[in-house]
């Protein structure tokens, strides 16, 4: 019985060895136990995409958890975190200026510290101008300065706002990502940008936790509050910007606004007389 077990185990070992030998031809043949291989980088409109592979005893592994990435010798930060938190086998370096050359180094490390097996690569970024997209975000590369725009941008008679998002210290400047489909506060004033990123002006209907409300954005885009005279009628906009309807107490005086927001004046509402300025006459 013992002889049968030994023969069975020998067959298993022989089969396993044969399988490993056949699969070995599809991977590189390292001289050391651990080998780090950096793939050819892919240049994108806003940076460089990196990918790499770790081999242990000639086999590709996935359990190495951390890497450090350097650009021109400076560690990359993204959203305030060092790239030591990168755990996958690829990473996109974002924030590189167009038409520039960079030296990028990827250093793997584990529980025993930084490995000696690291690789460097020299890349030159795409010299693209105007709007560029990366990972779902839109950026604007200034055609004159060659730097990514931040803050307000006038393009094709429309205003856009590019908000700081990344902190590429190796360029000593932040990148601006286009704000879209949301409210944004700039210099203590609120603005709304539509799905395409363009700043909205005039009346706009918006739904949030308060329900469906009408808002008015001034010609310069900032949200209006308080009294608004528009199309020969007065409207009152709450402190959060929503258009008021029904009875409203303003500066110790009662006013009434119809369902469409127009202020009532020189009339009687629910038995209460309103004067020419719209205030209730006691």
**pLDDT tens digits for range 85-101:** 556 678 888 777 777 78
**Continuous H helices in the chain:** 2-24
Q: CB–CB of 15/23 below 8 Å?
A: no
Which pLDDT score, from 0 to 100, does residue 166 have?
60
State how far the Cα of 162 lies from the Cα of 180, in Å rounded to an integer: 9
Question: What SS3 class is residue 19?
Answer: helix
DSSP state at residue 252: T
State how far the Cα of 260 lies from the Cα of 233, in Å rounded to an integer: 11
Query: Does pLDDT of 203 surpass 50?
Result: yes
Which pLDDT score, from 0 to 100, does residue 106 have?
84
State how far the Cα of 41 lies from the Cα of 123, in Å rounded to an integer: 8
The number of residues in the chain equals 282
**pLDDT tens digits for range 149-200:** 899 999 999 999 999 876 555 555 567 889 999 999 999 999 999 999 999 9
Query: Does pLDDT of 120 surpass 80?
Result: yes
| Residue with the larger pLDDT of the pair 129 and 222 | 222
Q: Quick one: tokens of 187?
A: 């210099």
Which pLDDT score, from 0 to 100, does residue 273 have?
97
Summarize the confidence of residues 249-260 as an average pLDDT: 97
pLDDT tier, 255 (very low <50, low <70, confident <90, very high otherwise): very high
Torsion of CA 100, 103, 104, 108, to 10 degrees: 180
Q: CB–CB of 187/228 below 8 Å?
A: no
As a whole-number percent, the residues of the chain with pLDDT over 90 amount to 41
State how far the Cα of 269 lies from the Cα of 49, in Å rounded to an integer: 66
The phi and psi torsions of 60 (rounded to 5 degrees) equal -70, 135
Q: Quick one: tokens of 67?
A: 């890497």
Query: Does pLDDT of 201 surpass 50?
Result: yes
Question: What SS3 class is residue 58?
Answer: coil
pLDDT tier, 10 (very low <50, low <70, confident <90, very high otherwise): very low
Beta-carbon contacts of 53 under 8 Å, excluding residues fewer than 6 positions away, are 36, 37, 39, 60, 89
From 50, 70, 58, 48, select the one nearest 20 (Cα to Cα). 58
As a whole-number percent, the residues of the chain with pLDDT over 70 amount to 73
Query: Does pLDDT of 223 surpass 80?
Result: yes
28-67 residues labelled b (16+ CB within 10 A) or e (exposed): eebeeebbbebeebeebbbbbbbbbebbeeeeeeeebebb
Q: CB–CB of 21/15 below 8 Å?
A: no
Query: Does pLDDT of 202 surpass 80?
Result: yes
Q: CB–CB of 140/148 below 8 Å?
A: yes
* Chain mean pLDDT for the chain: 79
């Amino acid at each position: 019985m013992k002889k049968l077990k030994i023969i069975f185990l020998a067959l298993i070992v022989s089969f396993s060895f044969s399988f490993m030998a056949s699969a070995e031809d599809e991977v590189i043949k390292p001289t050391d136990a651990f080998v780090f291989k950096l793939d050819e980088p892919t240049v994108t409109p806003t940076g460089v995409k990196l990918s790499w592979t770790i081999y242990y005893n000639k086999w590709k592994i996935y359990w190495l958890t951390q890497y450090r990435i350097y650009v021109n010798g400076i560690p990359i930060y993204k959203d305030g975190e060092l790239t030591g938190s990168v755990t996958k086998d690829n990473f996109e370096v974002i924030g590189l200026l167009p038409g520039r050359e960079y030296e990028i180094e990827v250093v793997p490390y584990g529980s025993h510290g930084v490995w000696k097996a690291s690789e460097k690569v020299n890349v030159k970024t795409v010299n693209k101008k105007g709007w560029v997209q990366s990972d779902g975000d839109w950026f604007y590369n200034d055609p004159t300065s060659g730097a990514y725009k931040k803050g307000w941008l006038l393009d094709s008679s429309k205003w856009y706002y590019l908000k700081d998002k990344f902190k590429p210290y190796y360029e000593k400047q932040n990148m601006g990502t286009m704000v879209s489909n949301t409210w944004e506060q700039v210099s203590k004033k609120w603005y709304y940008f539509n799905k395409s990123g363009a700043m909205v002006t005039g009346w706009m209907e918006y739904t949030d936790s308060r329900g469906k409300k009408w808002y008015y954005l001034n010609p310069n885009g900032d949200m209006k509050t308080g009294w608004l005279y528009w199309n020969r009628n007065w409207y009152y906009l709450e402190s959060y910007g929503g258009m008021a309807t029904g009875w409203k107490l303003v500066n110790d005086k009662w006013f009434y606004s119809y369902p469409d927001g127009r202020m009532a004046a020189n009339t009687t509402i629910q038995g209460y007389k309103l004067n020419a300025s719209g205030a209730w006459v006691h």
